[in-house]
Amino acid sequence: MVIGIIGGGASGMAAALAAAENEKVQVLLFERQSRLGRKLLATGNGRCNLTNLHATAESFHGDNSNFVATAMETYDVENTLNWFHALGLYTVAEDTGRVYPYSDQANSVVDVLRFALDRPNIQVLTGCEVSKVKANHPGFSVTTEEETYFCDKLIVACGGLAGSKLGGSMSGYKLLQKLGHHCTKLRPALVQIKSDWSALPSLKGVRANCNARIFCDHKLHSESSGEIQFTEYGLSGPVIFEISRDVCWEKGRWVCLLDLLPDLDEPLLPMLQKKRQTNLPAEELLTGILHNRLGRVIVKQAGIAGYVPIAQLEDWELEKVCERVFGLEILLTEPMGMDSAQVTAGGIVTTEFNPETMESRLVPGLYACGEVLDIDGDCGGYNLQWAWSSGRCAGYAAGKETI
Ligand SMILES: Cc1cc2nc3c(=O)[nH]c(=O)nc-3n(C[C@H](O)[C@H](O)[C@H](O)COP(=O)(O)OP(=O)(O)OC[C@H]3O[C@@H](n4cnc5c(N)ncnc54)[C@H](O)[C@@H]3O)c2cc1C
């Protein structure tokens, strides 16, 4: 039995290894780029956050997010880590639950997968973009620029549109649509959010620990705590990625409210009042408490000129500063585009697939896995966990069944 797999990324490589466990199966793995797992190399800032110890079915989104349940139970985090350990990858978990290769290098993950794929019943075809697929009932024709291949079963693992410079494309959606499947609206998730707040250029590169809440027309949309990064054009960092899904998607006034001292265990006002005993100017009021540049911006936002001596500040002025520290309001304009997003929200409609096997309910012998489906995970290793779980689920199912 020949199984064609389109896409040599995370889910496609996992599917290929699973399918090839049946030695009677011959796998053809098509990858349009010159090497396998190119996007994987860029994940986790080059460290590859390959899973998260806290990943469960609840960590995922999509119109039918329950779809992940079976794959996530069968190929859960423990099972996935055992699988990677058997492939020779040594991993380490951070306190947050994020798991990385012990080497801290994403290429360790790609390498163990690449080495494992080097077996007689897997043929890796890199630099081979699939432009057309046809269901022959039974079997499929898979056409690349050079040749047309025939396979008994086909797994589409082309990924999503996010991270287009690293291989994200519309290809998988189009191939599956041609075979009769439907696609929901695609939008960027785990992405920076733009703002035209005038203070941003002076805060470029500043990081802070905060609690961030996003509101649309005063209604709470999402909330998270962690590190924020200010950029020239907007807000970034894990805390923003976490809450970026669907931001500015609907019309309305979108605002991010930052509590910049979420863990402070004593009142701030007396701390500031004490500073009146110094000879310092107001721009140093928050020095030692917040990042210097952030402190200066907050003082300015409170309407206080930086040169005024702290000794001359009234209580009501210090209270204004406290209000800004615990509730800095930043107006949001739009998310950055798909290029900058880590994952695509939306995708191929999952009710058209069997959640136990990832097989199409419309075209027997056709499977899909990974980001091409309408599933996206939280920030912190969840999207790769979905790629491993769904990829292995599809690979084992395709490899086990007879034709
Ligand atoms: C910058 C960045 C950082 C990220 N960091 C993390 C992280 O640390 N942890 C985490 O969990 N997730 C992370 N993600 C998300 C994660 O990488 C993806 O969700 C995951 O790789 C999806 O796996 P996939 O197999 O579905 O798609 P991909 O890994 O994108 O693989 C799809 C493959 O299919 C190939 N392909 C597409 N069309 C065709 C075609 N027609 N013919 C042949 N080949 C084709 C592509 O070239 C690609 O190699 C990150 C994403 C980005 C962009």
Q: What is the pLDDT of residue 245?
A: 86
Q: How far apart are the first and last CA of the chain?
A: 8
Query: Can you tell me whether residue 67 is helix, strand or coil?
Result: helix
- The residue whose C-alpha atom lies closest to atom 35 belonging to ligand 1 is 7
Q: pTM score, two decimals?
A: 0.92
- Find out whether 155 and 12 touch, Cβ atoms under 8 Å: yes
Q: What is the DSSP letter of 193?
A: E
Mutate to test the pocket of ligand 1, among 158, 170, 174, 178 (most ligand atoms within 8 A of CB): 158
Angle at CA 206, nearest 5°, toward 202 and 208? 135
Q: What is the pLDDT of residue 165?
A: 85
Rounded Cα–Cα distance for residues 38 and 201 (Å): 33
Residue tagged 């007396």 (tokens): 270
How far is ligand 1, taken at its centre, from the CA of residue 277, in Å? 56
The structure tokens listed for 4 are: 């064609």
Which neighbouring-strand residues pair with 207?
A: 229
Question: Of 144, 106, 139, 109, which Cα lies nearest the Cα of 125?
Answer: 144
How far is ligand 1, taken at its centre, from the CA of residue 168, in Å? 7
Angle at CA 270, nearest 5°, toward 208 and 301? 50
Omega cis (within 30) before 335: no
- The residue whose C-alpha atom lies closest to atom 27 belonging to ligand 1 is 159
Q: For 300-327, what is each residue's pLDDT tens digit?
A: 999 999 999 999 999 999 999 999 999 9
Rounded Cα–Cα distance for residues 117 and 359 (Å): 23
Q: What is the pLDDT of residue 249?
A: 81
Per 3-state DSSP, the chain is made up of helix, strand and coil in percentages (nearest 5) of 35, 25, 40
- Find out whether 370 and 10 touch, Cβ atoms under 8 Å: yes
How far is ligand 1, taken at its centre, from the CA of residue 209, in Å? 29
The answer to whether the Cα torsion of 95, 101, 103, 107 is positive or negative is negative
Question: Which ligand 1 atom lies nearest to the CA of residue 391?
Answer: 25
Phi/psi at 155 (nearest 5 deg)? -115, 120
Question: Which ligand 1 atom lies nearest to the CA of residue 382?
Answer: 11
**Helices 77-87 & 106-117 angle (0-180, nearest 10):** 70
Mutate to test the pocket of ligand 1, among 68, 72, 383, 385 (most ligand atoms within 8 A of CB): 383
How far is ligand 1, taken at its centre, from the CA of residue 357, in Å? 21
**Helices 77-87 & 382-400 angle (0-180, nearest 10):** 80
Q: What is the DSSP letter of 105?
A: -
Q: What is the pLDDT of residue 402?
A: 60
Rounded Cα–Cα distance for residues 366 and 141 (Å): 12
- How many Cβ atoms sit within 10 Å of the Cβ of residue 255? 17
Question: Which ligand 1 atom lies nearest to the CA of residue 144?
Answer: 42
Q: What is the pLDDT of residue 403?
A: 53
Mutate to test the pocket of ligand 1, among 11, 13, 40, 43 (most ligand atoms within 8 A of CB): 43
- The residue whose C-alpha atom lies closest to atom 51 belonging to ligand 1 is 342
Q: What is the pLDDT of residue 164?
A: 86
Ramachandran assignment for 231, one of left (phi > 0), alpha (psi -120 to 50 degrees), beta (any other)? beta
How far is ligand 1, taken at its centre, from the CA of residue 372, in Å? 9
Q: What is the dihedral of CA 280, 285, 287, 290, to 10 degrees?
A: -170
The structure tokens listed for 185 are: 């609206």
Rounded Cα–Cα distance for residues 344 and 386 (Å): 13
Question: Which ligand 1 atom lies nearest to the CA of residue 383?
Answer: 11
- Find out whether 26 and 85 touch, Cβ atoms under 8 Å: no
Query: Can you tell me whether residue 38 is helix, strand or coil?
Result: helix
How far is ligand 1, taken at its centre, from the CA of residue 315, in Å? 54
Mutate to test the pocket of ligand 1, among 98, 342, 373 (most ligand atoms within 8 A of CB): 342
How far is ligand 1, taken at its centre, from the CA of residue 332, in Å? 28
Q: Cβ < 6 Å from ligand 1: which residues?
A: 6-12, 30-33, 38-39, 42-44, 48-49, 129-130, 157-159, 162-163, 166-167, 169, 171-172, 342-343, 370-372, 381-384, 387
Give the residue ranges of the chain where pLDDT is below 70. Answer: 401-403
Question: Which ligand 1 atom lies nearest to the CA of residue 129?
Answer: 42
